[in-house]
Structure 1
Amino acid sequence: MPERAAEPPIDRRKFFGVTAGAAAATTLLTTAAAHADPPPPNRHRHRRVRFGVNYVPSKNWWFSWSDWDRASIAADLDDIASLGMDHIRVMLIWSELQPNATYVRGEQLDRLEELLDLADRRHLDVQVTVLNGAVSGVLFVPPHLISNSDGTIRNVLTDPTAIERAQWLLTRIAERIGRHRRFMGFDLSNEIHWFAKPLGMAATQAQGDAWHTTLFDTCEKVAPGKVHVSGIDHWPWQNDEYWTRHGLATSGTMTANHTWAGWTQVIQRYGSLSTSSTHYSEFFIELIKAFHTDLGRQVWIEETGVSTVWMDAADIPAWTERSIRAMADCTGLFGITWWDSHDLNPDLSGYVDLEYDLGLFTNKRELKPIGKTIRNLIAEYDARPPAPSRRSTALVLPDDVIPLADFTRLFDPFMKLVDQGERPAIVLQSRTEDPAYLAARGIENLTR
């Protein structure tokens, strides 16, 4: 690759951070806002559906927070911006960021701020994912959660001290970046149930919902008006575990979900380019919307992706295009954030095979066919924003059913309607006698 020009120094006037107590913080924020450079033009303001990518540093993965290479990070962000993306989602590593209950590593906050500054230069907003005890199948347990007497680990979802320390951490981060113009908001965690389950952390659904309420209240207090979500996958929607579906559909700014047709065995069961495979994320968007009580609430597909472990490489571009077009056909979709930007560095060991080839770029920053497909779709949608389909036919879902547990109950009928040229919605049984609700969603026909 050609030698990169040195990145010019970052203008620290762009930093809107807080470094002292509440009174000093107010003064700092007011002064910084008064002297800050005007924001760069928002080149993506017209987008109905936002496009972004989960950033995976090409050189050091998320060990980058401790082994920082600014030039490599900047090059990666150039790659991402070249696709037309408007945002990235990043992963903090909880055990490195907060190794002690009352201590946050200052140099990691410095690097987080620097990452936002670098993203700002490339017109990329940044969603910051915080309580990451599990990322890409690897566990990162903060030492302060582990008892040195018997090795037991505090339950992060129910233990009052653990929850209070998580609130404290969110506050410290917000003091540093909460007013940065590229800070989108907090994602509480990356699928925290996959941290809790292997470590034996049990929680009732009421306790899980309360955890969400408590931490989202903190997020809104320390970073008001931002997009605060909880990054989870299909599991809590498919199983009565950790959270209620009603709680997931009403907590936070919007409902984030990670729709993986491979992890749920849909690709393997139905075939890579089947309707069920390519419309899986569309189905999940409509499933989630059935539980929304606020009709203006949005869904964010915060992770989705595909690996050669699940299908032939030749099928990946077609699968990707069909999947994105199906998602964009839904109303109430905030954005699509692909997993991930760059293939995992092959020098790093211990990850499952599919983690190494999920990128839009190779680990050497070469654009892959899937990356070209997404780049072309973004350009197309910028020129001609996609209009969602009218969904006048809805499948009726019993309120107490476990979605997807029985594929023949809801999933297969949904896909049959798609094959027949319909774009179905999903509605809860309890809402079928509410004509105003059905009319607001444009639902005229109910299918049981």
Structure 2
Amino acid sequence: MRFGVNYTPSVGWFHHWLDFDLDAVHRDFASIRSLGADHVRVFPVWSIFQPNRTLIRPQALADLSSMVDAAAEHGLDVSVDALQGHLSSFDFLPSWLTSWHRANLFTDPIARSGQASYLQELAASLAEKKNVLGLSLGNEFSQFASVEHPDVQAVSVQQAECWLAEMMAALEAGFPGAQHCHAEYDSAFFDPQHPFTPAGTARHGSMSTVHSWVFNQTAQRYGGMSEESLRLAEYLTELARAWATDPLRPIWLQEIGAPAPHVSPENAAEFTRKALRNAMDCEGLWGVTWWCSHDVDRALADFPELEYDLGLFRTDQSLKAQGEAFRQVAAEPQSRPARRTTSLVLEMGDETSGPGRAQCAPGGEFFESWMALAKAGARPGIVLASQRDATDYLQVRGIEQLIESGDTQALSR
């Protein structure tokens, strides 16, 4: 299993692309490698790399190339996110898509053609790099389609599927055969109004991705060190597995962190150890990528408070307690997780649009049922209702017992 970090530069945060300093990148990567990490996820800022629809800046591509080469010198593989898009509560859209030029990111033909051109050229620029794993479309890019976004981009489930297919094809055209994926946050699994669905998450790209954040009402409802919080990444990984048509599809825990105050600083190291070990007990987990490498410099203004101290390192490269915990877990001997022979059946309704997703959110009936089984030691998996009688599928996954989520007697045994 792979262990890595989401790379947050110690100098200048992601604004470092404006004043790219390769020496600073080398210092950061040396620290990251000292954790036992084997990969980083990096984030070109879209508005800097493609400031005009027909201009993809050669210097920006050269800086990214230098970063990838620096990672190789430190023994690190790289996954590159493309449409940034969105980072730590800030949006970065190029001016050719805003104000007087405003266009729907997901449905406007010109906007889509510009995105596809950028994705293909960015991917092609990396195709000869031996340590590049592949590209993600962007960091939680679908948040632009959330009804909670202040400038929501309206899109239907069908239109979202078309956008995903088109953008994934652009990555594949630029860099054939690489590990391309798209990075969804948990609204895809929990919010029945969200046009990006679990089906899209689990059926586009080379692997499914999971972003596990306990500030999603898990810590608020149950406590930051509750079993529900410590098992959230495990639960999301099993949800992603249930939605995949291929029972052997790999899953990437692409983001997990210990956000204060939801997880107190004195508990951050223990949270790191326990949450990671729980997630590692899932079959098919390709890897874990912690958010994030370095704290955000407090000289930078207006971040949500929890974003400043998520790093495994401080900005001066000193290692924090959760960084040491990450290093300990990464160094532990690994063995293949045992089969999860018991699975909880998820009745979703239409499995394309996922109208029943709310039951999977913290406090929902299905969430509560799964956690009850987990706390009782059952190591539950999840199976969609449509697969309830799929003998071959169940056999591949090693499932011997199915429990209906409303079967309170079975859940209590």
Normalised to the residue count of structure 2, the TM-score between the two structures is 0.92
Alpha-carbon distance in structure 2 between the residues aligned to 1:199 and 1:408: 28
**Alpha-carbon offset, residue 227 of structure 1:** 0.8
Corresponding residue to 1:394 among 329, 333, 343 = 343
Paired position in structure 1 for 2:206: 253
Question: 1:193 aligned to 139, 142, 155, which one?
Answer: 142
Among 105, 108, 113, the alignment partner of 1:159 is 108
Query: Which residue does the alignment assign to 1:433?
Result: 389
> Structure 1 stretch 337-346 or stretch 385-394: which is displaced more?
385-394
- Answering whether residue 21 of structure 2 is matched by residue 72 of structure 1, we say no
Instruction: Name the CA distance, whole Å, in 2 between partners of 1:315 and 1:174.
Output: 40
The answer to whether the 8 Å contact 2:257/2:291 transfers is yes
Deviations 1:220-279 (A, max 9, x none): 1210111111111101111232223222211011111211112x1111211222111101
Gap runs ≥5 in structure 1: 1-48
**Paired residues, number:** 393
Question: Contact 1:139–1:195 at 8 Å: present in 2 too?
Answer: no
Report the Cα offset of residue 386 of structure 1.
2.9
Partner of 2:197: 244
Selected match of 2:268 from 291, 310, 316 = 316
User: Does structure 1 conserve the Cα–Cα contact (< 8 Å) formed by 2:214 and 2:224?
Assistant: no
2:380 corresponds to which residue? Answer: 424
Distance (Å, rounded) in 2 between the aligned partners of 1:332 and 1:437:
15
- After superposition, give the CA deviation of every residue in 1:5-59 in whole Å (9 maximum; x if it has no partner): xxxxxxxxxxxxxxxxxxxxxxxxxxxxxxxxxxxxxxxxxxxx11110000001
Do the aligned residues in 2 keep the contact of 1:100 with 1:142 (CA within 8 Å)? yes
Q: Which has more radius of gyration?
A: 1
SS in 2 for 1:66: helix
| Structure 1 residue 405: Cα displacement | 4.2
CA distance in 2, matches of 1:119, 1:101: 29
> What pairs with 1:2-81 in structure 2 (closer than 5 Å)?
49-81=1-33
Amino acid at match of 2:363: F
Which residue matches 1:273? 225
Compute the displacement of 1:389 (Å): 2.6
Whole-angstrom CA distance in 2 between matches of 1:58 and 1:90: 13
Q: Is the 8 A contact 2:362 2:368 kept in 1?
A: no
Provide, for residues 186-220 of structure 1, a one-character-per-residue CA deviation record: whole Å limited to 9, x for no partner: 11011112234332211001110111111111111
Q: Distance in 1 between matches of 2:132 and 2:362?
A: 40
User: Which one-letter code corresponds to 2:242 in the other structure?
Assistant: A
Following superposition, the deviation at residue 147 of structure 1 comes to: 5.1
Q: Tell me the CA shift for residue 90 of structure 1.
A: 0.8
Name 1:217's counterpart in structure 2.
169
> What residue in structure 2 maps to residue 377 of structure 1?
329
TM-score, structure 1 normalization: 0.85
Alignment of 1:103-122 (within 5 A): 103-122=55-74
SS in structure 1 of the partner of residue 301 of structure 2? coil
Deviates more, 1:52-61 or 1:387-396: 387-396
Identical-residue share of aligned pairs (%): 36
Q: Name structure 2 gaps, 5 residues minimum.
A: 350-355, 405-413
8 Å contact from structure 1 (residues 209, 248) kept in 2: no
